[in-house]
Amino acid sequence: MYVAVKGGERAIENAHRLLAHERRGDRDVADISLAQISEQLALGVDRVMSEGSLYDRELAALAIKQARGDMIEAIFLVRAFRATLPRFGATEPLDTGTMLVRRRVSSTFKDIPGGQILGPTFDYTHRLLDPELAEGFVPELPAAAEPAAAAAPRVTDILGRDGLIEPSPTADPEAAVGDLTRDPLGFPAARDLRLQNLARADEGFLLALGYSTQRGYGRNHPFAGEIRFGEVEVGFFAEEVGFAVPLGEISLTECQMVNQFKGSATEAPCFTRGYGLAFGQSERKAMSMALVDRALRARELGEEVLAPAQDEEFVMSHSDNVQATGFVEHLKLPHYVDFQSELGLLRRLREEFAAAQTAPPLREAAE
């Protein structure tokens, strides 16, 4: 008797219904609101916005809720929505030097104009589980002070004035900004596309690659020149009025790594740069990105490409977690047609092997 092995429409519908039920969990427990996710799981929302390439806290919170807290699934939901949005154009380049800084640290100078600002950070917390947090905890209000009068100049700009660090390449205002979601990626890829790829890349993948450069696989002697987190205004050049109009503010984390020297017979040695940028407060992501960006500049800086983190095709082709999870997980789709042909071939090879074993042995060659 032939058993029904094929799936069915009803099976899919029932599976979706069951999923919705499981997502809700115990119905006696209050439904979680998007505001709760956005406010209290803020760093998760930041990650979904960064890797989803869409700055929208509410949609990111919805995606996290819909994905039952699975971050890659949430990123996928945001990406799929983003793909359907029309493009009005590109904003003016952001000036992170004008950032309203909420946190800013440099590991290269003890004190810097604008000061070191610890801000909200896990860095010096002791990782002891806090039972008080379990329910109804009301924290003290934070200490407040007048905001700093002067903007904080970027540490790399301070180094740059003396020529101690290579200048940032200046953008050609007429040149279109590369966009790997609108044009197919080719290799070798320019740095704008590399940075876009890294900004969308999986945090864990970048973390591991960045870590590998620290352990000697493409070492580039990094110092965290500066990490800053805060709000930056976004400007959009409107043809109708003839100047850039502010669209609003976004929260960003920027990391500027200061890396080993480069120099030649004709050029004085200077530090080199690695750059990381992420939506919201995403320091691990921004720092890992800066390490990998620097590693990927190996060819440009005349270094030998030996380590995985320096290999542009390897990094850029495998950094996207939505692509990676899709292809890994597609192995659970039926493959029985291919498997059948492998099975057929294997059986034939085994038959031939068995026949050869039982056949009289060939006479050995004369010694």
Partner 1 sequence: MSGPVYNFAYLDEQTKRMIRRAILKAIAIPGYQVPFASREMPMPYGWGTGGVQVTAALLGADDVLKVIDQGSDDTTNAISIRKFFARTAGVATTTISTEATVIQTRHRIPETPLHAGQVLVYQVPIPEPLRFLEPRETETRRMHALAEYGLMHVKLYEDIARFGHIATSYAYPVKVNARYVMDPSPTPKFDNPKMDNCPALQLFGAGREKRIYAIPPYTSVVSLDFEDHPFSRYRFDAPCALCGAEDAYLDEIVTDDKGSRMFVCSDTDYCESRQAAGHRGSESAAPHKEGAHG
**Binding region for partner 1 (CB under 8 A):** 1-12, 58, 62, 76, 79-84, 86, 181-188, 313, 317, 322-323, 325-331, 333-338, 340-345, 348-349, 352
Of 258, 273, 288, 283, nearest in space to 102 by CA = 283
In terms of CB distance, is 16 or 23 closer to partner 1? 16
> Closest approach of Cβ 281 to partner 1, in Å?
25
> Closest approach of Cβ 286 to partner 1, in Å?
23
In terms of CB distance, is 39 or 329 closer to partner 1? 329
Q: In whole angstroms, what is the distance from residue 363 CA to residue 358 CA? A: 15
SS3 274: strand
Strand partners, 275: 256
Within 10 angstroms of residue 96's Cβ, the number of other Cβ atoms is: 18
In terms of CB distance, is 87 or 127 closer to partner 1? 87
Within 10 angstroms of residue 60's Cβ, the number of other Cβ atoms is: 30
In terms of CB distance, is 81 or 237 closer to partner 1? 81
Q: In whole angstroms, what is the distance from residue 12 CA to residue 84 CA? A: 25
Helix segments in 53-104, DSSP class H: 57-66, 71-82
Q: In whole angstroms, what is the distance from residue 64 CA to residue 71 CA? A: 7
> Closest approach of Cβ 39 to partner 1, in Å?
17
> Closest approach of Cβ 325 to partner 1, in Å?
7
In terms of CB distance, is 185 or 234 closer to partner 1? 185
> Closest approach of Cβ 297 to partner 1, in Å?
18
> Closest approach of Cβ 125 to partner 1, in Å?
35
In terms of CB distance, is 109 or 339 closer to partner 1? 339
b/e sequence 7-32, b meaning 16+ C-beta within 10 Å: eeeeeeeeeeeeeeeeeeeeeeeeeb
In terms of CB distance, is 115 or 188 closer to partner 1? 188
> Closest approach of Cβ 52 to partner 1, in Å?
10
DSSP structural state of residue 55? -
Residue 65: partners with Cβ closer than 8 Å, 6 or more residues away: 32, 34, 37
> Closest approach of Cβ 68 to partner 1, in Å?
16
The helix (run of H) or strand (run of E) holding residue 21 is: helix 9-24
> Closest approach of Cβ 190 to partner 1, in Å?
15
Task: Name the burial class of residue 291, with classes exposed (0-12), middle (13-18) and buried (19+) by CB atoms within 10 angstroms of its CB.
Answer: buried
Cis peptide leading into 222, omega within 30 of 0?
no
Q: For residues 50 and 40, is the Cβ–Cβ distance under 8 A?
A: no
Radius of gyration from C-alpha coordinates of the chain: 27
DSSP structural state of residue 165? B
In terms of CB distance, is 85 or 366 closer to partner 1? 85
In terms of CB distance, is 93 or 188 closer to partner 1? 188
> Closest approach of Cβ 250 to partner 1, in Å?
20
Within 10 angstroms of residue 233's Cβ, the number of other Cβ atoms is: 17
In terms of CB distance, is 247 or 328 closer to partner 1? 328
